[in-house]
A and B are shown apart, each in its own frame.
Chain A
Amino acid sequence: MPETPDSTGDGGAVATKPPRDGLEPKMAYAPSAGIASRIARSNAWRSMFRHPNLDTPRGRALQSFSNFFLHLYPVKIPKRVLRMRYSFRLGFIISVLFGILLVTGVYLMFFYTPSVNSAYGDMQHLRTGVGFGQLVRNVHRWSAHLMVLAVFLHLVRTFYAGAYKKPREFNWVIGVMLLLLTLGLSFTGYLLPWDQLSYWAVTVGTNLCQYVPVFGKTVQNLLIGGPQIGQSTLLRFYALHVAVLPLSLVLMLFIHIWRVRKDGFAVERTSTGAFEEEATALPAPAVPANAPAHLYGGRTRVLGVVDRESITAEDRSVDDTVFTWPHMLVRHVVVALGTCATVLALGVAFAAPLRGLANPNLTPEPAKAPWYFAGLQELLSHFDPLIAGILIPTGAVIVLLLLPYIDRNPSTVARERKVAIVIFSSLLAIAVVLTVIGTFFRGPGWSFIAPWTHSYIEM
């Protein structure tokens, strides 16, 4: 039966079944006799999916409302959000990488025992005796590296876009915590293969703790659970890596994404821009004589009680929004496939390193920290550990956490925030240069070498 458009926007389908209950939207089901159509009309199917797939505005909106996963997205989004350079899809890429890490991580858990006697053997067995074991480990490793990189780029992008400004200050804070959790996950995972690389990188990393005044030794003892890295360290790092940190990260990630929805998409805004003027120039609503005062103080009623600051006055003469499904989703699917393809290609091309069994009596030359801590290690070779290992990184994290509250300039336009951009860019450049030197230009005994003579970095 050919469909004819009608005024209800339901695609002209004919009702063949009454609604199951009051919760089901009043919608018509196509009376086709095919088996797929019969299943779609069945009570069981409709208890799971409460309405048919309808290619109409109403159908797409219902699609978003009634699907748990699509519910993460708004029903409609401004067209400019679709542009690649709006966010470079970094946040989404990170979510995909985290998903890959969860799946490959659970796979690896089936073949791994967190014991100093068997951990290294398990890694060797994974390489030689488990189907796709080496590949899955490589993909896990590469996804972890890329996730650290993507989280870092996401932070940099958010800074330059000024997207941490009101009302998104707290979401920036959560983002910085997510960065720390990502580094924590990467660092705890580093020890698990129990080879020379992991043993000494973690030795160097945990010994940094002892320079923290007052608590340092206690924190180090809690972390490694003994006088030196051993069985209790491995077990602690394992528990942190597979349970504590992933759960914390998932929780924070949900809050992060939820707040992106609640705080709205970032818009470019100058200090005296049109947006703000329009938003604040809205006439105050007439207050009913007997109304409770707190409901109306500084708030405008638009479909309920809304903070006036969160209203973004946009020119609505042309509707510039598009449906998330399919416009945004199809882009996300492409980005997700691209991310999977990238880590798979890296995993096929480059194997995750596995050096000799961890040997507490032989420090390899050079003992390098993971690349994202190489800048810190480089700094450590120049300054006192208290300064380079504790004060500078802790200070950097605190400044990052407080950034939205320190930078009170409301503008997001680059030419109106030169000071912030110059300071941030300088610090960023220093961090990148230190990391590149520490990663590529340091050889045995931390001597300066040219990277083209020999590479001492192992990913």
Chain B
Amino acid sequence: MGSTRREFLRNSWKAGGALLGLAAGWTTYESLRPLALPAAGANIRLGSVSTYAPETATYVTAGRLFVANTGTRLFALSQKCPHLGCRIPFCESSGHFECPCHGSKYDIGGEWITGPSPRGMDRFPLSLDGDTVVVDTSKTLTGPERGAKQYFKPAKGPSCAPKA
């Protein structure tokens, strides 16, 4: 005989307990899981292309992003550093994005130059509605790999990180 009545009951208790644990774990997860992502998902109209001068980065508060004009292309770059999530300010004097937390630097196109970040800055897709630029913040495009140097230009001036 495979199992006695006692063994069967004991295993049933164990199985029941395991199921109960799974159910408790799942309901806990479901109740704690963030359901809506409130900040993301909106289409933001950014105005005419001509408002963004070449080699500048303009901050858009509504989307927490920079609109960067590399001279040849327009990018919507997420302000969040791909390394550990600090906000990356644009340094006017050097023309690079410089993260204050761990010293990652990116060029005007959001491509990685130096620092511990694993990749370039994440981007949002842009589209044109007539002459108006529209950014879709519901989709994040993973930033370019470390090797990309398409829009790189050497720093045009001093870095914004103060030297001690």
Do A and B come from the same complex?
A: yes
**Which residue of A207, A444, A445 has the most chain B CB atoms within 10 A of its CB atom?**
A445
- Nearest A residue to B161 by beta-carbon distance? A445
A contact residues around B88 at 8 Å (CB): 363
Beyond A227-B37, A227-B38, A385-B84, is A447–B100 a contact (Cβ under 8 Å)?
no
Residue-wise, chain A 119-141 has the 8 Å CB interface mask toward B (1 for contact) of 00000000000000000000000
Q: Of A203, A381, A449, which contacts B85 at CB under 8 A?
A: A203
- Tell me the chain B residues, 51-106 only, with Cβ under 8 Å from chain A: 61, 64, 79-80, 83-89, 98-103
Q: Does A290 contact B (CB under 8 A)?
A: no
- Tell me the complex Cα distance, A417–B133, Å: 69
A444 touches B161 (CB 8 A): yes
Residue-wise, chain B 141-164 has the 8 Å CB interface mask toward A (1 for contact) of 000000000000000000101111
B101 touches A204 (CB 8 A): yes
Q: Does A44 contact B (CB under 8 A)?
A: no
Q: Does A158 contact B (CB under 8 A)?
A: no
B contact residues around A115 at 8 Å (CB): none
Q: Of A236, A360, A364, which contacts B100 at CB under 8 A?
A: A364
Q: Of B39, B61, B86, B102, which contacts A203 at CB under 8 A?
A: B86
Q: Does B130 contact A (CB under 8 A)?
A: no
A227 touches B164 (CB 8 A): no
A contact residues around B79 at 8 Å (CB): 361
A365 to chain B, nearest CB (A): 4
A contact residues around B99 at 8 Å (CB): 363, 445
Beyond A222-B29, A363-B89, is A444–B164 a contact (Cβ under 8 Å)?
yes
Residue-wise, chain B 15-43 has the 8 Å CB interface mask toward A (1 for contact) of 00000000000000100111001111000
Q: Does A200 contact B (CB under 8 A)?
A: yes
A contact residues around B89 at 8 Å (CB): 363
A204 touches B33 (CB 8 A): no
- Tell me the complex Cα distance, A381–B100, Å: 12
- Tell me the complex Cα distance, A447–B164, Å: 8
- Nearest A residue to B59 by beta-carbon distance? A361
B86 touches A204 (CB 8 A): yes
Q: Of A232, A360, A377, A383, which contacts B34 at CB under 8 A?
A: A232
Q: Does A226 contact B (CB under 8 A)?
A: yes
B contact residues around A450 at 8 Å (CB): 164
B161 touches A203 (CB 8 A): no
A204 touches B34 (CB 8 A): no
Number of cross-chain contacts by CB at 8 Å:
98
A226 touches B29 (CB 8 A): no
B118 touches A385 (CB 8 A): yes
Q: How many residues from A make CB contacts under 8 Å with B?
A: 39
A contact residues around B29 at 8 Å (CB): 222
- Tell me the complex Cα distance, A150–B108, Å: 47
A203 touches B84 (CB 8 A): yes
B135 to chain A, nearest CB (A): 16
B83 touches A385 (CB 8 A): yes
B101 touches A446 (CB 8 A): yes
- Tell me the complex Cα distance, A377–B88, Å: 18
A445 touches B86 (CB 8 A): no
Residue-wise, chain A 434-451 has the 8 Å CB interface mask toward B (1 for contact) of 000000000111111110
A363 touches B87 (CB 8 A): yes
A363 touches B100 (CB 8 A): yes
Q: Of B38, B39, B87, B164, which contacts A449 at CB under 8 A?
A: B164
A contact residues around B161 at 8 Å (CB): 365, 444-445, 447
B contact residues around A366 at 8 Å (CB): 100-101
A208 to chain B, nearest CB (A): 7
B32 touches A225 (CB 8 A): yes
Q: Does B116 contact A (CB under 8 A)?
A: yes
- Tell me the chain A residues, 197-241 only, with Cβ under 8 Å from chain B: 200, 203-204, 206-208, 221-222, 225-228, 232, 236
A contact residues around B159 at 8 Å (CB): 445
A contact residues around B87 at 8 Å (CB): 360-363
- Tell me the complex Cα distance, A454–B164, Å: 8
Residue-wise, chain A 356-389 has the 8 Å CB interface mask toward B (1 for contact) of 0000111111110000000001001111110000
Q: List 23 interface pairs A-B (beta carbons < 8 Å), by A numbering.
A: A203-B84, A207-B83, A207-B85, A208-B84, A221-B34, A225-B32, A228-B39, A361-B61, A361-B64, A362-B87, A363-B99, A363-B101, A365-B161, A367-B100, A377-B102, A380-B102, A381-B102, A383-B116, A385-B84, A444-B161, A446-B101, A446-B103, A453-B164
Report which A residues bind B (CB closer than 8 A): 200, 203-204, 206-208, 221-222, 225-228, 232, 236, 360-367, 377, 380-385, 443-450, 453-454
Known: A366-B101, A453-B164. 14 other contacts (CB 8 A): A203-B85, A204-B101, A227-B37, A227-B40, A228-B39, A361-B79, A363-B88, A363-B100, A380-B83, A380-B84, A381-B103, A382-B116, A448-B164, A454-B164
7 closest A-B pairs by CB: A445-B161, A207-B85, A449-B164, A365-B100, A207-B84, A367-B101, A445-B103
Report which B residues bind A (CB closer than 8 A): 29, 32-34, 37-40, 61, 64, 79-80, 83-89, 98-103, 116, 118, 159, 161-164
